Amino acid sequence: MAEASTDTLKRTPLYASHVKMGGKLVPFAGYEMPVQFEGVMAEHLWTRENAGLFDVSHMGPCFLTLEAGIGGGDAAHAEIAALIETLVPSDIASLKPGQARLTVLLNEDGGILDDLIITRPIGDEAQGTLYIVVNGAMKEQDWGIFEKALAGKAVLTRADDRILFALQGPKAVDVMADFFPGCEALKFMQHMPFEMNGQRCIVSRCGYTGEDGFEVLIPAEAGLPLIEEMYTDERVKPIGLGARDSLRLESGLCLYGHDLAPDISPIEADLGWVIQKRRREAGDFPGAARILKEIKEGPARKRVGIRPLERAPAREGTEIQVGGETVGTITSGGFGPSVDGPVAMGYIAAAHAAPGTKIDLIVRGKARPAEVAALPFVPQNYKR
């Protein structure tokens, strides 16, 4: 992930809010983003117990709409779904109105170009468009791919000038219900539209911390006073990227550019569940030959959880050995505040991928004992 020099960095609509709340700002995905407020450890634990507010406006929310426009009910959805399904292996056609799905953008070799969430809108009159959120660092690439592949058939509308924020943690639902009455009825990966301060916004029950929570896309002029008011609620604190990373790692969630990359397939990444039955049977997605072969025969390497058995964290790039031979590499690693110990994820040869397998991690030239562990490291608390 390239970091631009400070003078070319963009700011989200919440920049002034971050400064006011004491955020320590760093370059991330081309933006000046808060890495922490009171401290990564405290923010991480706060989110697991209360409600943490994350600015994710640097990400890539967008709408992909049929050239003919919206309306036309199920037929229109089928049409836009068929278009996006040429680029991703998930079953988008079968999404129910209001439902969202995690998927991956694939290259011709079945490698992952990004991970993204695709949502089908509610209401017959709104069909023919998809609400899509891609990663901030990958949005120019992804949007270029959409526009090139779907030219003349669908139109891309960027929405990254708005505020996209996440409220995560066990108390998020009670806070959200105060501001968006009715949103508590949503289940994980469902969304509904709201009007707030005179502006249309989208409330989704999802997130990337392993906790119950919501993501909200809202125009800046309506979102700024909303977030200012949320900060007056004692259950809510601002959370930086540092804790976002440790929360998602403990929850076994992948970070693009680290755990996912163009040479890694969704089967190697243990994301085979994003490819639903209809798509597997049809085999009609980029890189299907490789991916279907890996489903049948098993991949040569696999993403696994890793628990160092001593206190030293093992960071990204750490070599994994068994009996002195290299068998894999760590792709995300650090300290898990809720686990109260080091945690990591990485890719390892399939023969060594079973949970409980003893491995060595080469940290600063020294072999340190670790074992393959089941993911997630802490239970996910989604509202199913």
Partner 1 sequence: MTTYYTKDHEWIRVEGDTGTVGITAYAAGQLGDVVYVELPESGAKIAKGDGFAVVESVKAASDVYAPISGSVVEANTGLSDAPEKVNEAAEGDAWFVRIKIADTGELDGLMDEAAYTAYCEGL
- Cβ-based nearer residue to partner 1, 42 or 155: 42
C-beta of 317: minimal distance to partner 1 in Å? 11
C-beta of 32: minimal distance to partner 1 in Å? 17
C-beta of 335: minimal distance to partner 1 in Å? 4
Stretch that binds partner 1, among 174-182, 241-249, 295-303, 349-357 (CB under 8 A): 241-249
Name the amino acid, one letter, at 210. Answer: G
| Ranges assigned E (strand) in 151-198 | 154-158, 163-168, 191-196
C-beta of 208: minimal distance to partner 1 in Å? 17
Q: Which of residues 156-195 bind partner 1 (CB under 8 A)?
A: none
Q: Which residue among 1, 10, 11, 41 contacts partner 1 (CB under 8 A)? A: 41
Q: Which residue among 14, 21, 40, 70 contacts partner 1 (CB under 8 A)? A: 40
Which tokens in the block code for residue 59?
A: 């990400």
Q: Which residue among 335, 359, 370, 372 contacts partner 1 (CB under 8 A)? A: 335
C-beta of 333: minimal distance to partner 1 in Å? 10
Q: Which of residues 303-322 bind partner 1 (CB under 8 A)?
A: 311-313, 315
Q: Is 362 in the site for partner 1 (CB under 8 A)?
A: no
- Cβ-based nearer residue to partner 1, 41 or 261: 41
Q: Is 287 in the site for partner 1 (CB under 8 A)?
A: no
Cα-Cα-Cα-Cα dihedral sign, residues 331, 332, 333, 336:
negative
- Cβ-based nearer residue to partner 1, 277 or 366: 366
- DSSP alpha helices (H): ranges in the chain? 15-20, 40-49, 73-84, 139-149, 172-179, 220-230, 241-250, 277-282, 288-297
C-beta of 36: minimal distance to partner 1 in Å? 6
Q: Is 208 in the site for partner 1 (CB under 8 A)?
A: no
Q: In whole angstroms, what separates CA 115 from the centre of its chain?
A: 7
The Cα–Cα gap between 94 and 153 comes to 20
Beta carbons within 10 angstroms of residue 314's beta carbon: 25
- Cβ-based nearer residue to partner 1, 120 or 307: 307
The Cα–Cα gap between 85 and 124 comes to 21
The Cα–Cα gap between 236 and 216 comes to 15
- Cβ-based nearer residue to partner 1, 129 or 246: 246
Q: Total residues contacting partner 1 (rule CB under 8 A)?
A: 19
Strand 341-349 relative to strand 301-308: parallel, antiparallel, unpaired?
antiparallel
Q: Is 334 in the site for partner 1 (CB under 8 A)?
A: yes
Stretch that binds partner 1, among 113-121, 206-214, 332-340, 369-377 (CB under 8 A): 332-340
Q: Is 259 in the site for partner 1 (CB under 8 A)?
A: no
Is the CB of residue 141 less than 8 Å from the CB of residue 66? no
Is the CB of residue 296 less than 8 Å from the CB of residue 302? no
Q: Which residue among 245, 268, 294, 360 contacts partner 1 (CB under 8 A)? A: 245
Q: Which residue among 1, 35, 295, 349 contacts partner 1 (CB under 8 A)? A: 35
The Cα–Cα gap between 168 and 186 comes to 14
Nearest to 255 by CA among 50, 11, 59, 53: 59
DSSP string for 233-284: STTEEE--HHHHHHHHHHTT---BTTTB-TT--TTTTT-GGGS-HHHHHHT-
**Residues of the shown chain interacting with partner 1 in the complex, contacts defined by CB under 8 A:** 35-36, 39-42, 44, 242, 245-246, 311-313, 315, 334-335, 337, 342, 364
